[in-house]
Amino acid sequence: MKSFFWENLRIALAELWGHKTRSILTGTGIVIGIIAVSLMSTLINGVDGLFEESMKFLGRGNLYVEKWPWMGGGDDWWTLRNRPRIELDMADEIKERSQYALVVAAERGRSANLSYKDLSAENIYIHGVTANYPEVSTVDVEFGRFFTDSEDRTGSPVVLLGSEVAKTLFPHENPIDKMIFAGSKRFRVIGVLAEMGQFMGSFSNDTQVIIPLETFNKIFHGPWGRRSITVKVPEHLVEEAKEELRGVVRVLRGLKPGEPDNFAINQQNAFRESYQGIKMAIGGTGMIITALSLLVGGIGIANIMFVSVKERTREIGVRKALGATSSQIQGQFLIEAMVITASGGLVGLIISTLISLAISKFLFPATMSFGVAFMAIALSAVVGLFAGLAPARKGAKLDPIEALRYE
């Protein structure tokens, strides 16, 4: 049995080598299909990692009391726009009334231009936060320090720079204790934040600066800009804490029973649900493309194998006359079809790996797992098995006498 397999494999390879152009064109559909399925799986794994890294910034146990719901919400735009703004002094009341709240931090934000000597950084997000903000976020100070609660209460003009902002304004010197300007206001740099990367592949967390919330309130008057209260709760009690928080905020807002909420309680689940929908759509599209490519490739291989059986009719007659059984003839053509598809799968896998390496180097980490590679080769071999089954059976059923007479 073993020698039978290797003999048929040798015949299959010799036949493919003798018709190189035909074999390459026949396997093209399989190559495209394997590139599609392996690259899609690799990219989804890479995007999953990128998404999870971005979600760390929001925190699994964080709830955000804001005016606008994330991902649109169910109300129309005018209803949401007419909601009253979030009053940040509710943070202390929430902390006092909520039994689930571990930390409550308030924040505001808006964009402004920064400058230092003759250098400038435009459209930088200025983040005004309370001193306990590091407890509800992933911000980490690379060097220097975070501001104190006393500096927040007194509105001290101190600032922490995002890593990209620090590189822009201080390319060749230490920024600590240097004075920068936000518009006409001066700030003393007390720290530089560790690199955090992009959030959801959109905006960079490193192009922001952080100042005390009271400092922000003194400098930037008016209702403009983002306002949010972040409530950190136990991760395993998020849903219970969300309902309790909703009740607390309704009381603080003076809403009567039956009145709709005029605020939103956001959490990272909104992003997760949206991402899962997009991921399923991309995955479904990829699977359809893969199925069509493999179907076309399989039909092409079946067609070529029928041609091959017809071309080698006399050879089949000779082999049967010399004692070859129908199963041996069938095995010969099945192995030949599987060699074509497995070779196409291997070529597709190599191309996918090279593309994955390029993506990993220039865009985001995207490595191909062993499981994906094995699945690609196995899938291509299965396509060859089914594509070659009908031609192989046709060859196996040929009458040896009639086959020997075939011209």
Distance CA 399, CA 328 (A): 14
Residues facing residue 104 across a β-bridge: 231
Distance CA 34, CA 29 (A): 9
Reading the block at residue 63, the tokens are 């709830």
* CA distances to 20, 70, 106, 209, 325 from 315, in Å: 20, 70, 83, 79, 13
* pLDDT bucket at 341, cuts 50 / 70 / 90: confident
Residue pair 301/385 in contact (Cβ under 8 Å)? The answer is no
The yes-or-no verdict on residue 293 having pLDDT over 80 is no
- Neighbouring C-beta atoms of residue 174, cutoff 10 Å: 12
Distance CA 53, CA 198 (A): 9
Q: Which residues contact 172 (CB under 8 A, 6 or more apart)?
A: none
- Neighbouring C-beta atoms of residue 133, cutoff 10 Å: 22
* pLDDT bucket at 271, cuts 50 / 70 / 90: confident
pLDDT at residue number 376: 78
* pLDDT bucket at 367, cuts 50 / 70 / 90: confident
Distance CA 13, CA 332 (A): 11
Reading the block at residue 80, the tokens are 């949401």
Reading the block at residue 324, the tokens are 């070859």
* pLDDT bucket at 328, cuts 50 / 70 / 90: confident
Distance CA 398, CA 394 (A): 7
Distance CA 94, CA 320 (A): 87
Distance CA 25, CA 47 (A): 33
Reading the block at residue 27, the tokens are 């396997």
Q: Which pairing describes strands 185-193 and 179-182: parallel, antiparallel, or unpaired?
A: antiparallel
pLDDT at residue number 396: 73
Q: Which amino acid is at 83?
A: R
SS3 per residue for the chain: CHHHHHHHHHHHHHHHHHCHHHHHHHHHHHHHHHHHHHHHHHHHHHHHHHHHHHHHHHCCCEEEEECCCCCCCCCCHHHHHCCCCCCCCHHHHHHHHCCCCCEEEEEEEEEEEEEECCEEEEEEEEEEECCCHHHCCCCCEEEECCCCHHHHHCCCCEEEECHHHHHHHCCCCCCCCCEEEECCEEEEEEEEECCCCEECCCEECCCEEEEEHHHHHHHCCCCCCEEEEEEECCHHHHHHHHHHHHHHHHHHHCCCCCCCCCCEEECCHHHHHHHHHHHHHHHHHHHHHHHHHHHHHHHHHHHHHHHHHHHCHHHHHHHHHCCCCHHHHHHHHHHHHHHHHHHHHHHHHHHHHHHHHHHHHHCCCCCCCHHHHHHHHHHHHHHHHHHHHHHHHHHHCCCHHHHHHCC
Q: What is the mean pLDDT of the chain?
A: 82
pLDDT at residue number 388: 80
Percent of the chain with pLDDT over 70: 87
Q: What is the mean pLDDT of residues 200-211?
A: 78
Q: Which amino acid is at 68?
A: W
Residue pair 206/162 in contact (Cβ under 8 Å)? The answer is yes
Helices 20-58 and 326-362: crossing angle in degrees, nearest 10, is 40
- pLDDT tens profile 180-195: 998 788 999 999 999 8
Q: Which residues contact 117 (CB under 8 A, 6 or more apart)?
A: none
The residues spanned by each domain of the chain are: 2-54+273-405, 62-267
- pLDDT tens profile 299-325: 888 888 887 777 777 777 777 777 777
- pLDDT tens profile 69-119: 887 655 677 788 888 888 888 999 999 999 999 999 999 998 889 999 889
pLDDT at residue number 221: 74
